[in-house]
């Protein structure tokens, strides 16, 4: 998916929230639910702010840290187990076609796949569009459009922490 398609996905696509349940969790040996297998490909980044200074390197580093931190936070909470789907010789990225991401996540053993990214609209406003898809049904189980102000490490870290809390509600408590 090209940058213009990714931007459309982030800005205009998938705007309705859908409330479908995730398949019943399996039970771990200790009696509690097993962590839900989730694929969290590297998220995409689109900048349409028109700022004169080239921030490509900074934004590439921030979206990479955001993606890595999201995977780490989800796994640390004990409700999720991160799986890494492969698209050819490399791990999948959220820039792949959504149907391919779902298929590759299913092949990797995931129950959910996270699709989305961040769109910088202006100097002050960024949007994080996240959609979790049940890989068996192909239906969204979470569809969030989060906005955050600023383009600093602190702003990005707060946005990621909030996103991780929102996603944590998808899995049962261990």
Position 26 scores a pLDDT of: 47
- The enclosing domain of 141 has a CATH number of 3.40.50.10070
Q: Does residue 68 lie in a domain region?
A: yes
* DSSP class of 83: E
pLDDT in tens, 106-138: 999 999 999 999 999 998 999 999 999 999 999
pLDDT in tens, 17-55: 222 233 444 444 455 678 999 999 999 999 999 999 999
Q: Does residue 173 lie in a domain region?
A: no
Of residues 37, 22, 23, 109, the one with CA closest to residue 71: 37
Position 42 scores a pLDDT of: 93
Q: Is the pLDDT of residue 153 over 50?
A: yes
Q: Which of 94-98, 146-150, 170-174 has the lowest mean pLDDT?
A: 170-174
| Parent domain of 76 | 3-22+32-168
78: left (phi over 0), alpha (psi -120 to 50) or beta: left
Query: Average pLDDT, stretch 52-79?
Result: 96
Per-residue confidence band for 15, with pLDDT thresholds at 50, 70 and 90: very low
Number of domains present in the structure of the chain: 1
Q: How many CB atoms lie within 10 A of CB 2?
A: 8
Q: Does residue 27 lie in a domain region?
A: no
Q: Does residue 174 lie in a domain region?
A: no
Torsion of CA 167, 172, 173, 174, to 10 degrees: -120
Report the distance separating Cα 82 and Cα 74, nearest Å.
8
Which residue has better confidence, 94 or 104? 104
């Amino acid at each position: 998916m090209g940058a213009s398609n990714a931007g459309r996905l982030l800005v205009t696509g998938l705007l309705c929230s859908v409330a479908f349940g995730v398949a019943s969790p399996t039970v771990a040996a200790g009696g509690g639910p097993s962590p839900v297998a989730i694929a969290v490909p590297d998220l995409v980044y689109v900048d349409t702010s028109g700022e004169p200074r080239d921030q490509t390197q900074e934004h590439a580093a921030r979206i990479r840290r955001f993606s890595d931190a999201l995977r780490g936070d989800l796994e640390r909470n004990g409700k999720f187990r991160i799986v890494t789907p492969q698209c050819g010789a490399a791990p999948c990225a959220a820039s792949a076609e959504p149907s391919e991401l779902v298929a590759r996540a299913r092949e990797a053993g995931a129950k959910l796949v996270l699709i989305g990214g961040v769109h910088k609209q202006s100097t002050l406003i960024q949007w994080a569009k996240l959609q979790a898809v049940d890989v068996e049904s192909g239906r969204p189980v979470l569809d969030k459009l989060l906005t955050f102000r600023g383009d600093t490490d602190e702003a990005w870290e707060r946005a990621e922490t909030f996103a991780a809390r929102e996603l944590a509600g998808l899995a049962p408590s261990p």
